[in-house]
Every structure is written in structure tokens, then in C-alpha cells.
Amino acid sequence: MPYSSASDGRHNHHHGNYKLMTPEHQLEALSQAYVKAVASRAGMSCSWRDVDYGIDVTLHDVTVRTNPETGRKRYFESGAALDVQIKSTTTATIENESVVYDLEADAYNDLCVAKVCVPRILVLYAVPKSSSSRLEQSETHLLLGGCGYWHSLKHCEPTTNQYKKRIRIPCENVFSEVQLKEIMERIYEGGEL
């Protein structure tokens, strides 16, 4: 009886009492939507992981070549790629032009590994505490509340902490179309993040 009108709310789809996902999974889904929206706006494709081994998604640079004889355009992946670990939080704070967040120690150490084939970053999606402010929808727009910030931990020392490691992300590191394109250009040219 999946669409029961039971008064206890267990299957009460029609009265707004039924939630399909935990609050943590809702935040995770919103953070994935944020990253995908920014990557799409930047013209990049996304490869999502089926299993989480420290990376959630790889973003791929897409470029275009034009046949000089026919003028036909062909879009293809350039080979430049960026691995992303995504975290979402309602508890990040702003201190001295930095977003302060306590990252899980294991995730921190995964991102500190310097010798990797594909550069990697953390994207921290800081969302409002109020769930009603996280997404607004109308006939003209879909608005995600909050902001994503990116950070490379490549040159950081691994932590011996058991649970958490405090990180500081410059507020200027907004995970945006413009900054993502700049990051991918650096990767394509062989530069450092």
C-alpha cells in the first residue's frame, strides 16, 4: 500500500509529511546538483563514481574542432580532467576572508596525496541552515541557496588526527563557471593548482 493516506505519516505523500531521503542525503544531492550545474555552464562533462574511494566526480574539459572543408564542428574531450571530492555543510563559518570547515581526517588525507595522475580538489558547498532557503523554484528559475568553494590540498601535510582536520578556504575560491574554466586551463597547460 505505497500511497496510503495513513494518519501516522508513514505513507502520506499528499500532506507533505513523507520524506524519501535523510537530511544528509538531501544535502549531498543538492551539492552534486550545484557541481553539475557549474560544470555544465562551463561546458564540461561529468563522470560520477558508482563507489566512493575519495573522489565523487571527474570533470572533463570539452573542446571543439572544425573541419576546414565542411565547416562541421565536432565536440570532444581534450584529455584535461579534474577529480572532485564534494562536501556539503550547514556549519561552515567565515573568519578573516576564509571559509572554515572541519573536514573528515580521511578525506583530508585523500586530498593531500601529491602524486596523482589527475589533479584533485575539494568543493565545499556551504548551504543555509534553513532547509526552506536551500532551493527556490518558480516558472522562470530554479535557485540553489548557498555557495560552493574549491580548495586544493595538494601541498598540505597529511594529518595524524583521528576524526577531523580544520581547513580554511579563501572566500575568493568560489566554485564558479569562470574559476572552473581557469582551473581547467591551468591543468591543460600543465600548471599547478
Task: Give domain limits for the chain.
Answer: 27-188
DSSP state of 16: T
* CATH annotation of 27-188: 3.40.1350.10
Give the whole-angstrom CA distance, residue 73 versus residue 180.
24
Give the whole-angstrom CA distance, residue 21 versus residue 86.
18
pLDDT band at 157 (very low <50, low <70, confident <90, very high): very high
Specify the pTM.
0.85
pLDDT band at 8 (very low <50, low <70, confident <90, very high): very low
Give the three cell numbers for residue 45: 562533462
Q: Which residue, 24, 36, 133, is CA-closest to 88?
A: 24
Give the three cell numbers for residue 104: 573528515
Least confident of 108-112, 113-117, 148-152: 113-117
